[in-house]
Structure formats: C-alpha cells, structure tokens
Amino acid sequence: MFTGLVQVLGQVEQTVAEGPGRRLIIGWPGLAEPLELGESVAVNGCCLTVIEAHGDRFTVQAGPETLLKTNLGSRAAGSAVNLERALRLSDRLGGHFVQGHVDCVATLVERRPEGEWDFLKFELDPTWTELMVPKGSICVDGVSLTIVNLDQSSFSVMLIPHTLAVTTLGALKVGDPVNIETDLLAKHVRQLIRRERNG
C-alpha cells in the first residue's frame, strides 16, 4: 500500500530483456535507508518487487502484462521515474490509499500554465472515468492528485510548483502516456452495485 506522495525522482539506469518481460535497474538518489529484498516499491505508480539492492541502486522485474498495460514498457536508460516506498503503519497519510495496481494508461492532451501552477488534461477509456468524481483523488504516474474537471473520457488536474519540480509530471508533454490508478473504494462500490443489479 502507498500514499501517492512521491519520495524521489529516480532514474532508470539500465533495462534488460527477460523473455517477454524486462528487468529494470533503477537509481534512487540520496537513499537513506537501504532497500530490502522483497520490498515493494511504486515505480511510476506501479507496485514492483525489489529483487536486488546495492547502495542507491535496485532492480525490479516487470512482466509482459505490466509492460503492456503501463508506461514502464516505454521507459529506457535515462528515463526519470517517480519512486515511493510502501507505507508503514506509523507513517502519516498525506495522499490517499494507493495499491500500486495500475488500471489503465491515459494520454496528456492539453497543458497550459496558470500563474505558477500548470493545468493538465488527460484522455482515457470512459470505463475508468465512471470511477472518478470532481474533487476526488486520482493517482497519475504514482502521484496523488485531486481531480478538477471531469467528463466522459477525460479529467483534468492542477499541479502546484512543488509537484512540477519533484515528479515526472513537470516534464510531461502533450501525447505522453501516464499510468492511472483510480480510487480503491470506488472500484469496490461499483463491483457491489453490479452484483446487486445482476442478482
């Protein structure tokens, strides 16, 4: 479980093909407490397991499903990635509950500055906008954000200067893909309603 509060902007240092999957070696600048084998780390909002750790570098494996359904399939050496360690029970919960299970990929279709903030609009499959509400939480590339506007196939957010400076969202360009995880509670409510309707 994560919060969607990115802890550091990391960098993919190397990718290695493994059959239909891929191994990613990632650098974590300024890592204070070493990562442990088996630990979960959110990489651009995708929960992956640490299989090797040496100093401020660690290795994860992404299977074919992950590569297909997230933007990790297009990350290469030199790509920046948002990193967050799993939530401890004693941690402050400043974002919202995030599982690290990416639902879909959205595309940035509009971006404009508004003072020191930036307005970003994303398009995605309407199946997922059913789980969103204005002023509700959304996880974009592992970043917990608040939805500003919402329609059938898109949503928008406003990014403060801090988020622009310390996450990959600051460098996003129109046409770029992002990983989306909708609200966990909304998914459960939709499932319960469907079961009720189907008897």
pTM (predicted TM-score): 0.92
Element (H, E) at 144: strand 143-146
Strand order in the sheet with 149-151: 143-146, 137-140, 177-181, 104-114, 117-123, 154-159, 149-151
Q: How far apart are CA 154 and CA 115, in angstroms?
A: 23
- DSSP-derived secondary structure for 34-69: ---TT-EEEETTEEEEEEEEETTEEEEEE-HHHHHH
Do 142 and 44 form a contact (C-beta atoms < 8 A)? yes
Per-residue pLDDT of the chain (199 residues; tens, 9 = 90+): 899 999 999 999 999 999 999 999 999 999 989 999 999 999 999 999 999 999 999 999 999 999 999 999 999 999 999 999 998 877 777 878 899 999 999 999 999 999 999 999 999 999 999 999 999 999 999 999 999 999 999 999 999 999 999 999 999 999 999 999 998 877 777 777 777 777 6
| pLDDT number for residue 191 | 75
Q: In terms of residues, how long is the chain? A: 199
Q: Which domains does the chain have, with CATH numbers?
A: 8-85 (2.40.30.20), 104-197 (2.40.30.20)
Q: How far apart are CA 91 and CA 153, in angstroms?
A: 35
